Amino acid sequence: MPNSSVETQKFAARLKLALATKGFKQSPTVVANKFNEVFHGRAITIITVRNWMLGNAIPTHDNLVCLAKLLDTTPEELRFGRSVEKTYVFDGEDLSAVDQMFLRSYLNLPIKQKRLICEMTLAIN
């Protein structure tokens, strides 16, 4: 399903803001070069970055994750304009405050305790 023009334009605005905040020149060439220095997958082209910056396209998930890391933000903030600290989304629905509190607590647990919680949840489902 193609991205709507509104979505891609909003993404482009958030990308430009993140670039400015990080002190990067608003140049597809600069962004592509910096991205390709840290990305371990297939290199992106200047045209690809230009399309992101003009609001013609949104990066694939892998590219978005790398781009967010490069810009010291989260993929969620860059893609949707909200921080995971503010709202968790599950199957397109915002979670209740109680569910968000539970998830924050869970995410702060050590890995062994997370595994235990996961096993218990699977056992009662």
pLDDT in tens, 7-28: 999 999 999 999 998 899 999 9
Mean of per-residue pLDDT scores for the chain: 87
Does residue 54 register a pLDDT over 90?
yes
pLDDT in tens, 67-103: 999 998 889 889 988 654 555 666 667 777 777 778 8
Q: What is the pTM of this model?
A: 0.64
3-state DSSP of the chain? CCCCHHHHHHHHHHHHHHHHHHCCCCCHHHHHHHHHHHCCCCCCCHHHHHHHHHCCCCCCHHHHHHHHHHCCCCHHHHHHCCCCCCCCEECCEECCHHHHHHHHHHHCCCHHHHHHHHHHHHHHC
Average pLDDT over residues 49-65: 96
CATH numbers and ranges of domains, the chain = 5-80 (1.10.260.40), 89-124 (no CATH)
